[in-house]
Structure formats: C-alpha cells, structure tokens
C-alpha cells in the first residue's frame, strides 16, 4: 500500500460512506441493519474508519459486552463487523484498523475481544479459537473454529462464561446462516 492510511473514529458525516462499503465488501449479506443500529449507539461501541485520500476504504465496529460467569461480569468486546472496500483488500487495511481498535480497547480497560469470523483471516490478526467464552447463541457445526478471541494488554482476567451482548446482537439470525 503506497497511499497513507489514516485511522480515526467514525463521525456521523461518514455514515453514508460506511453504509456504501458493506454491500460492496459483502454482496451476499445484508449487514446494514445491524451497522446502522450500532452506529447510532455511541455508548456501546467503538467505530473506526480507515481513510485514504479522503475516501473511507475500511470500517470496523467493536461493541462493548460482558462475560457472565455466574458470580460477576467482566468487560469484553465483540469485533463485528469489519469491511474493507474490494479495491483495497489484501493490503493490510483490515489488520491496521483492527489493531488500532485493540489498542483503544486496552486503554478502555477491555482485555478480551471476541469475533465470529473466518479463522484463516482472523488467526493472522492474533485471534485463536475460543472455548471458555460461549457466544450468545449456539453456532452451526460447520462454523467450528469461527468463534475466536484475543487477549489484549497485560491484564490476565480469567474469562469464562457466556458473552452478554447488547440488544443489537440479540438476533439469532446474526449468529447462524
């Protein structure tokens, strides 16, 4: 990538460009309802854009969540969705945006980030299969290995239990295909 990538928090003025990005990156999935819902709820999310030459070429949302172990709830985050414009894929933009988000989450006191995604991609970003933190809904068997996590920072909080997600993620269709 010879162009300079700037990563910053998204602004309401970016929403049109963000909404245009998802159908390009995921033509077979309709992620716009959850993206729109998450963008409007600034209290529960971190939304970052990657910008090259004043054009938004990538976007990620991290939603703050909890892990309920029966006696307490620890802070965690869910990485989803992540999109990079097709013309800019395979140039490290997704990696850069995710890593910028992980650094900000660490500063926010979050030390576990979960994702439901392609293990081949997310393993390159440092994610590993997650077995102690359950997703909010049972996943299809063919998605074995797609539920992953990454510890961030130096805190070693023992996470175990079910990921408690905000209302935007309480839609079973988002967890099964």
- Please tell me the predicted confidence (pLDDT) of residue 159: 75
Phi, psi of 150, deg, nearest 5:
-145, 135
- What are the residue ranges in the chain where pLDDT is below 70? 1-2, 70-73, 155-158, 177
Task: Report CA Rg, the chain.
Answer: 16
**Tokens describing residue 25:** 């990156």
Listed in sequence order, the residues at least 6 apart from 63 whose beta carbon sits closer than 8 Å to its beta carbon are 38, 44, 45, 77, 78, 80, 165, 166, 168, 169
- Please tell me the predicted confidence (pLDDT) of residue 174: 86
Q: What is the pTM of this model?
A: 0.92
Give the single-character DSSP code of 2. Answer: -
Number of H helices, E strands in the chain: 4, 9
């Amino acid at each position: 990538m010879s162009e300079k990538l700037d990563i910053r928090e998204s602004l309401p003025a970016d929403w049109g460009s963000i909404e245009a990005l998802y159908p390009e990156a995921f033509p077979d999935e309709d992620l716009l309802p959850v993206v729109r819902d998450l963008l409007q709820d600034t209290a529960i999310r971190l939304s970052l854009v990657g910008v090259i030459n004043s054009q938004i070429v990538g976007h990620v949302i991290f939603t703050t969540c909890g892990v309920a172990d029966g006696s307490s709830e620890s802070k965690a985050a869910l990485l989803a969705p992540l999109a990079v414009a097709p013309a800019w894929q395979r140039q490290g933009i997704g990696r850069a945006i995710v890593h910028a988000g992980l650094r900000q989450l660490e500063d926010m006191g979050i030390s576990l980030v979960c994702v439901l995604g392609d293990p081949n991609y997310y393993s390159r970003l440092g994610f590993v299969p997650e077995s102690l933190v359950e997703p909010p809904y049972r996943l299809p068997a063919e998605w074995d290995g797609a539920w992953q996590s990454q510890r961030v920072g130096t805190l070693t909080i023992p996470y175990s239990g079910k990921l408690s997600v905000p209302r935007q993620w309480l839609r079973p269709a988002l967890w099964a295909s």
